[in-house]
Amino acid sequence: MAAPQDYDSTHLLEQPQELKNRAERDGFLFFRKLLPQDPIMELRKEALSLVQNEGLLNPDHDLIAGIADLEKCRDFNAFSDTCLSRDAYNAVQSLPLFHELAHHPKLLKVFSTLFGEKPLVHPRHIMRLVVPGKNVHPTAPHQDIVYISGTENTWTSWIPLGDCSREIGNLSILKGSHRCGVLPVHRGLGAGGLECELPENQLEWIELDYQAGDIITFTSTTVHKSLPTQRPERVRLSLDYRYQPLSQPVHVSSLKPHMGSLSWDEIYKSWPKDDYKYYWEKESLTTTKETSFERFPQLADGMAP
């Protein structure tokens, strides 16, 4: 089983070519405690307060522990694959810190070094709040290019909100799978509802125990999945932030709020500051409406009955 220290790339941030070489070899980069814990834990607290408002936490435990009330969760019907109600996920999307954290200088440093140019931070951010509700399944193996479209050189950063061991059901990466190209898909369980066909060559699944402040980032063609939880009472909270070179095309959907239940004006209306509002509109972007299903015929072929 892989150990975090075997993959920690923090020291390579001062060695750009070595960082790029590792990214090309593995299709992912891991950074131990790249982010400060204070904003991570503050955002965890804010998010768990919303889960608590749903009545899904066990009142016998501290909020920050994130212990679910299994009985109440059992019959809970979530809004799409967010694991919360529509109103609660709208409240998540309206949290200023949720959006601000994506612009942390240490995250921007990773991608400016990797890309060799200014990164574009996609404004469409995702938070996963995994509670043991109805129809909650581990996310099947997939590539993000299916959902992102735009440039294949888009990287997803997966950031746990707090310590996240394998037994809670965290992220697993198929090392080197980005070199297999865009893989056909079929219907699957879990977030997104699609599963890719796994490459025939033998590749290694990388499973790590994560600590608050860790990030793992991977290309849009790197296959990944979530592990099944062995501790269903533990709410698993994580973030998906996405970055790409500013000079490359971005799909128009990546500039819209996740799930599309709120407009940006609605999200921003309660923010105390204007920082990070519509920041992408200040850039000279090349946008595209072409989807990955239109661009890669094997995706559509894999969905044929």
pLDDT per residue as tens digits for the range 109-147: 999 999 999 999 999 999 998 887 666 778 899 999 999
> Of 186 and 100, which is predicted with more confidence?
100
Q: Dihedral (C-alpha) 149, 151, 155, 161: value to the nearest 10 degrees? A: -40
Nearest one of 232, 284, 303, 300 to 118, comparing CA atoms:
284
> Concatenated DSSP letters for 4-49?
HHHHB-GGGGG-HHHHHHHHHHHSEEEETT-S-HHHHHHHHHHHHH
**In the chain, what percentage of residues exceed pLDDT 70?**
96
Q: Is the pLDDT of residue 1 over 60?
A: no
Tally of domains in the chain: 1
> Concatenated DSSP letters for 217-275?
EEETTS-EEEPPPS-TTBPEEEEEEEEEETTS-EEGGGGS-GGGSS-HHHHHTT-SS-T
Structure tokens at 257: 């709020």
Q: Of 181-190, 207-216, 218-227, 288-297, which gets the smallest average pLDDT?
A: 181-190
Structure tokens at 230: 């062995």
Type of residue numbered 133: G
Q: Is the pLDDT of residue 104 over 60?
A: yes
The pLDDT value given to residue 126 = 96
The pLDDT value given to residue 211 = 96
Q: How far apart are CA 155 and CA 78, in angstroms?
A: 28
Q: Dihedral (C-alpha) 272, 264, 190, 218: value to the nearest 10 degrees? A: -80
Task: Specify burial of residue 201 (Cβ count, 10 A radius: 0-12, 13-18, 19+).
Answer: exposed
pLDDT tens digits, one per residue of 27-47:
999 999 999 999 999 999 999
Q: Is the pLDDT of residue 2 over 90?
A: no
Structure tokens at 157: 């950063």
Q: How far apart are CA 195 and CA 17, in angstroms?
A: 33
The pLDDT value given to residue 4 = 62
Q: Is the pLDDT of residue 191 over 90?
A: no
Angle of CA points 192, 151, 30, to nearest 5°: 70
Q: How far apart are CA 254 and CA 258, in angstroms?
A: 8
> Of 2 and 48, which is predicted with more confidence?
48
Q: How far apart are CA 101 and CA 258, in angstroms?
A: 16
Residue 172: which domain range?
A: 4-303
Q: Domain containing 115 — which CATH number?
A: 2.60.120.620
The pLDDT value given to residue 82 = 67
The pLDDT confidence band at residue 199, using thresholds 50, 70 and 90, is confident
